[in-house]
Amino acid sequence: MDAQSVKVTQELLRQITVLKKEREAVILAHNYQPPEIQDLADYTGDSLELSMIAAKTPAKVIVFCGVRFMGETAAILSPEKTVLLPVWEAGCTLAEYATAEQIREMKRKHPGAAVVTYVNSSAEVKAETDICCTSANAVEIVASIDRNRPVIFVPDYNLGHYAAKKTGRELILWNGCCPTHALLSTFAVAKARKKWPGAQVIMHPECKPETLELADFVGSTSGMLKHVKKQPAGTSFIVGTEVGLLHRLQKENPDKTFHVASDYLICPMMKMATIKDVKESLEKMQHVVTVEEDVRKRAKAAVDAMLRYTSAAVKVP
């Protein structure tokens, strides 16, 4: 970055600091956001973690640097706050694989089935759901439901397949996926292992089943962060998830080495936001995320069912 670009960036950051104070705002950045967005954020994490943090802060305005369903989740949990999405066009292909009408149709085909929905879904889909899950707790949520009750898992086939394998249950899986994680092939992992022999392969459960078979550790972004911290200094890792996570991994573990498992692990939607977009969203209070109240209440019930989850069995309504 040349001197002029540095000067412009510094001025934008100064303006953001002033605007945050004026608006009583908090800035959240998903782990997959560009490094400069992660660095300016007050909190960095996965989507549900950030929404829960936002709900507990005294902030009146939430600037969610992520994709639209994440802003919706924040609006579901914090209806009294204003949620802003810096780039309105930032959607999520995985979330778009399922619609509320499709869920209703599936429930008609499988009466009595419990609907478990990944948080990477729209508010309307969550509203048709019995209980939500994250990539970190999908296995536990599925395992907790009565084994005699059918389970529809929405919308990620790969995460559902992983939960089914871990629990030994047959699930009714949705035909959806994260196109970024689905691009990680067994060939790419084998190539990475050859290039960096001895490195641990850590992978997100949104990757394809045959690719997950090659992982040394499978976990959510928060799971990967915790796993890496426990490893000894000098350990190297091949990371099978969106490349944005490597920035935080390296910041928190300067004594370890990280390699992205494939050059294709880049989500274009997660890379849309710029520092200027964050400044303009605060300045103009633009791209407000709203959820219709009836939908919000029903979606919140599904999220709350998950948040009440303990080691005891979940009682799905």
Tens of pLDDT along 141-150?
999 999 999 9
pLDDT of residue 309: 67
Residue 313 scores a pLDDT above 90: no
pLDDT of residue 312: 38
Residue 202: phi and psi, rounded to 5, are -115, 140
Residue 203 scores a pLDDT above 60: yes
Please answer whether residues 82 and 288 qualify as being in contact, where contact means their C-beta atoms are separated by less than 8 angstroms.
yes
Within 8 A by CB and 6+ apart from 94, the residues are: 118, 120, 121, 155, 156, 176, 177, 178, 179, 206
Residue 67 scores a pLDDT above 90: yes
Task: Give the least confident one: 11-15, 144-148, 179-183, 307-311.
Answer: 307-311
2 confidence band (pLDDT: 50, 70, 90): confident
Residue 246 scores a pLDDT above 80: yes
Residue 314 scores a pLDDT above 50: no
pTM confidence score: 0.94
pLDDT of residue 34: 97
Q: Pull the structure tokens for residue 146.
A: 């009565």
pLDDT of residue 310: 47
pLDDT of residue 216: 98
Tell me which of 305 and 313 has the higher pLDDT: 305
Tell me which of 139 and 51 has the higher pLDDT: 139
Q: Which whole-number Å values give the CA distances from 16 to 2, 8, 31, 282, in the listed order?
A: 21, 12, 20, 8
Q: Which of 267, 308, 272 is nearest to 287 (CA)?
A: 272
> Going from the N-terminus, what domains does the chain have, and what CATH number goes with each?
3-91+270-286 (3.40.50.10800), 95-177+296-307 (3.40.50.10800), 180-260 (3.40.50.10800)
Mean of pLDDT values over 261-278? 98
Q: What is the dihedral of CA 94, 95, 97, 98, to 10 degrees?
A: 150
Averaged confidence pLDDT in the chain: 95
